Structure 1
Amino acid sequence: MTGYHVPTRGILMSDDARDGADTGANVVVTGAAGFIGSHLVEALRRTGRNVVGIDRKAGWPEDEIPASDGVGYLRTIRGDLVSADLDACLKDTSAVFHLAALPGVRPSWTQFPEYLHCNVLATQRLLDACVRVGVSRVVVASSSSVYGGVADGAMSEDDIPHPLSPYGVTKLAAERLALAFAARLDATLSVSALRFFTVYGPGQRPDMFISRVVRATLSGEPIDIYGDGAQIRDFVHVSDVVRALLLAAKAPACGVLNIGTGRAVSVNEVLALTGELTGQVPEARYGPARLGDVRATTADVGRARLRLGFRARTELRAGLATQIEWTRRSLAGAPPRQAASSVGMAPTRRS
C-alpha cells in the first residue's frame, strides 16, 4: 500500500507477458494503488482480464470502469485487508496478486505494530479468505530484505534468511504464511512468492533512492546519500517485475523465486549515470549508513529463469531514462506517461 499512481496511457504487451497473464476468471490485486500494483493492474486489463483492485490508500476511489476495446473491467475497492469483507471481494476470483504491504526499512524500527498489521495480519486474513472462497492461486510479493547482508555473492533462494530490519522480518513472515496456507490439506490454494530486489521506474515511491536522486538532480537540489555510495544494489525495472508477476500467475506453483537482473551496480554509479542522462551533475551529500541497510544485494536469478522462463530485459540506462522522463513531466505539471515504463517498452536485451 504505497503511493497512489494512476496510469494515464495504455500499454502494449509483449507476447510472453500476454501468455503469463492468462489467469482464467477475475483477478484481484491488493496494493493496487501502489507503484508496482498500478502498473500490474494496467497490464492485466490490457490483456482483457477483469480486475478487482484493493488498497487502503487515502484518495483511492471506489469505482467501476467497464471493459472496452479489449481492455478488461476494473473495480476499485478502498479498504484495509484486516477489516474488509474479503469473501465478497474474492468472489469469482481465480488468482490473487498480493502486493499490499507497508514498505520501508527505517520506519519499521519505530512503527513495528503497524508493520505487523499491514504485512503479517493482513496477509493471514487474506489467505484465510482465499481458502474459504476456494481461490486457486496467490502470487505474493516478497522482498530481498529477507536475506539480510550475509550472502557472499549472489543471493540464492536456498540461503537461510537473515533479515536485518523489522520490515524484513515481516516480509519473511508473510511469505512463510502463504506457503503454510498452501500446504493445508483442506486448501486448493497454490502459491508463488517473488522476492523483488530494488524495483525502480516511473511512479516509484518518492522516498526510494533513484526517485530521490532523479528529482533532486532535475530540481538542482542536494541529495543525501546514506553511506559512502559504494554499496551495491540489483536494480530491476518495474516492467520486468510486472512481467514476472504475470508469468508466475500461470506457471506451476514454484515456491520462492528471486526477481532481479543478476547484476548489481553501486549507488555512486547510479549518481554518475543520472548526471550523464540529465546533463546535470547530482550534488551528493554523504552521511552515515542507515540502521538496517545492507551493504550489497545481488539476485541469483537461475531459478526464476528455469521455472518461469523469466529474464530481466531492461538495462539500467534504458530504465533510468524512463524514470527521468516521467519525473520531468511530473515536475512540469504534465500528465506522466506510463507507456514507456511498461511491459511493452522496447527492451534492451542481454545475451
Structure 2
Amino acid sequence: MTQQLSSQHTPVPRRAVVTGSAGFIGSHLAHALVQAGTTVIGVDRRDPVMDPIAAANLGPLLSLPGYVHITADLVGCAIDPLLIDADAVFHLAGIPGVRPSWGPKFTDYVASNILATKRLLDAAARLRVPRLVVASSSSVYGTTDGGHSIETDHPHPASPYAVTKLAEEQLCLAHAAQPHSTISVVALRYFTVYGPRQRTDMFTHRALLTALTGQPLRLYGDGHQRRDFTYINDAVAATIAAATTPDVHGVINVGGGSNASLLEVVGIANSLTGRDIDLRHESPRHGDVLITRAHPGRAHEVLGWKPQVDLPTGMRAHMEFLASEPAVYGRAA
C-alpha cells in the first residue's frame, strides 16, 4: 500500500522541503509529494551511501525527477539555501525514542530536536517561508485518565524525549506568534504511526517480525497498554493537508482511530501469520504511558481529514512488506 495522491483532487505545495526525509514518515511523505507533482528538497543527516536503512527508505525516491536529496545535519549546516522558494517546510528531522532519552544521549536529543529546530525557524523567517509543519508526538500528553487527549489538554510529558518534543512544537508556535512573523505553524501530534519502513524498535514491527520468523517477542509490561495506531498512508495524508489547508495553525492530533492493546496487536499478528508468538515478559520501561487515545475532532474539522486504514488492514500491508524486504527490514531492535 504505497501512498499516492492525485494532484487533481488533493492540493500539494509547488516546492517543499522535507527534513528527516530518509526516515520512516519522511520518506513516505517525500514520495507522495513527488508523485503528486511537488518538487521536494529532502534533507537528512543519514547518508544513503553509508546507511543501509536510509538507502532502502530513499530507494523509491532517488531516481524520481522532482526529488533532490541533501545529506546535511541541521545542527550545523547552512540552512538558508535549502529553503529558497519553498512554499512549505515539513520538519520531521529529530531523534526519536523514549528509552534512550533517559541516558547520556539526552544532549543529542536537545541538539537535534530543539537547537536544530531553532536554526531552521530562523532560516524560515529570513526566507519568509509561509507554512511550517512540525512533527510532534502524542507522548507530550504523558499519563492520562484513559480518555481522549484533546489539543487543549495540559501536557505532562513523562520522558526526556517527550519533553524535547513539547519544547520543539512550542518553540515553533512561539516563532509564528511574533507580531511580524510571516510563517504559520501546524504542529502534528502523531499517535503511534506504523507501516512499511517503520523503525525496527517499534512494537508493530517487532510483533510482525517475530510472528514471521518464530523469534521470541520481548513485551515490556503486561501487554494491556493501549495505543491509537495510525497507518502511514493516513499520517501522510494528514501531514500534506496541514501544509495546504488555508488559515490553519496550532496543534492538531493525528490519530488513526484504531485503539488497541499490545496484546491485541500480538493477536492480529498471530492470525495474519498463522503462528503463535512466543512472548517474553519484561519490566515496563520508564516513560512508557499506559494509554494513548486521540480526540479526532480538530483534524476532522480544520483539515477535513479522517483515517482510512484500520489496524488489521494496515498490519497486513506491513507484514507483506516485511516478508518482501527481509534483508534490510527483517530485524528487530
Aligned-partner Cα distance in 2 for 1:164–1:200: 22
SS in 2 for 1:286: strand
Is the aligned partner of 1:189 residue 2:180?
Answer: no
Greater displacement, 212-221 / 266-275: 212-221
Q: Deviations over 1:65-91 (max 9, x none)?
A: 9x9xxx751110011101111001111
Deviation (angstroms), 1:60: 5.6
Q: Distance in 1 between matches of 2:176 and 2:111?
A: 21
Q: Where does 1:1-12 land on structure 2 (aligned, <5 Å)?
A: 12=4
Match of residue 273 from structure 2: 278
How far apart are 1:152 and its partner, in Å? Answer: 3.9
TM-fit CA distance, 1:49: 0.5
Does residue 231 (structure 1) correspond to residue 225 (structure 2)? The answer is yes
1:51 aligns with 2:40: yes
Cα separation, 2, equivalents of 1:277 and 1:38: 26
Once the 2 structures are TM-superposed, how far is the Cα of residue 151 of structure 1 from its aligned partner?
4.0
Q: Does the 8 Å contact 2:189/2:252 carry over to 1? A: yes
2:11 & 2:279 partners in 1: Cα distance? 41
Aligned position for 2:102: 109
> Who is 1:246 aligned against?
240
Comparing 262-271 with 222-231, which one deviates more in the overlay?
A: 262-271
* Aligned with 1:96 (options 89, 96, 99): 89
TM-score, normalised by the number of residues in structure 1: 0.87
Unmatched tracts of structure 2, length 5 or more? none
Match of 1:312 among 307, 311, 315: 307
Aligned equivalents of 2:274, 2:17: Cα separation in 1: 42
Shift of 1:257: 0.4
Match of 2:125 among 113, 120, 131: 131
- Structure-2 change in CA distance of 1:152 and 1:316 (3 Å): closer
SS at match of 1:297: coil
For residues 335 and 223 of structure 1, what CA distance do their matches in structure 2 show?
A: 16
Alpha carbons 2:4, 2:36 under 8 Å: kept: no
Query: How many angstroms apart in 2 are the aligned matches of 1:152 and 1:323?
Result: 27
1:201-257, Cα deviation, whole Å (9 max, x unpaired) = 000000101111111121110000000001100010000000001111111223100
Shift of 1:150: 2.5
Distance 2:312 2:222 in 1: 22
Q: Is the 8 A contact 2:29 2:236 kept in 1?
A: yes
Match of residue 140 from structure 1: 134
Confirm or deny that 1:291 pairs with 2:286: yes
AA in 1 matched with 2:79: L
Structure 1 match to 2:19: 30
Contact 2:197 2:329 in 1 (8 A): no
Give per-residue Cα distances to partners, 1:288-347, cap 9 Å, x unaligned: 11010000001001110000011111000100001100111122x4999xxxxxxxxxxx
Alignment RMSD (CA, Å): 2.5
Q: Percent identity?
A: 45
Q: Cα distance 1:89–1:334, how it changes in 2: closer, same or farther (>3 A)?
A: closer
TM-score, length basis structure 2: 0.91
Contact preservation (8 Å) 1:51, 1:72: no
Partner AA of 2:38 in structure 1: R
Letter aligned with residue 157 of structure 2: P
Aligned mates of 1:296, 1:147 — CA distance in 2 = 10
1:125 & 1:212 partners in 2: Cα distance? Answer: 35
1:19 to 10, 14, 17: 10
| 1:327 alignment counterpart | 322
The structure-2 alpha-carbon separation of the partners of 1:122 and 1:60, relative to structure 1 and needing over 3 Å to count, comes to farther
Residues 273 and 314 (structure 1), Cα distance of their counterparts in 2 relative to 1, 3 Å cut: same
Q: Structure 1 CA distance, aligned partners of 2:36 and 2:18?
A: 15
| Alignment match, 1:269 | 264
Q: Which residue is 2:205 aligned to? A: 211
In the comparison of the two structures, how many residue pairs are matched? 322
Unaligned runs of at least 5 residues, structure 1: 1-8, 337-351
Matched, 1:176 2:176: no
Distance of 1:195 and 1:60 partners within structure 2: 31
Q: Shift of residue 14 of structure 1?
A: 5.3
For residues 43-82 of structure 1, the aligned pairs below 5 Å read: 43-59=32-48, 73-82=66-75
Q: Distance in 1 between matches of 2:74 and 2:239?
A: 21
Instruction: Check 1:266–1:152 CA distance in 2 against 1; reply closer, same or farther (3 A cut).
Output: closer
Q: Would you say 1:201 and 2:192 are equivalent positions?
A: no
Q: For 1:126-167, what per-residue CA distance to the aligned partner results, in whole angstroms no more than 9, with x for missing partners?
A: 011000111111001100000001344011101100000000
Task: Give distance in 1, aligned partners of 2:239 and 2:3.
Answer: 16
Runs of at least 4 residues off by over 3 Å:
9-12, 60-63, 333-336
The amino acid across from 2:300 in the alignment is R
Distance (Å, rounded) in 2 between the aligned partners of 1:242 and 1:13 = 10
Distance (whole Å) between structure 2 residues aligned to residue 265 and residue 231 of structure 1 = 8
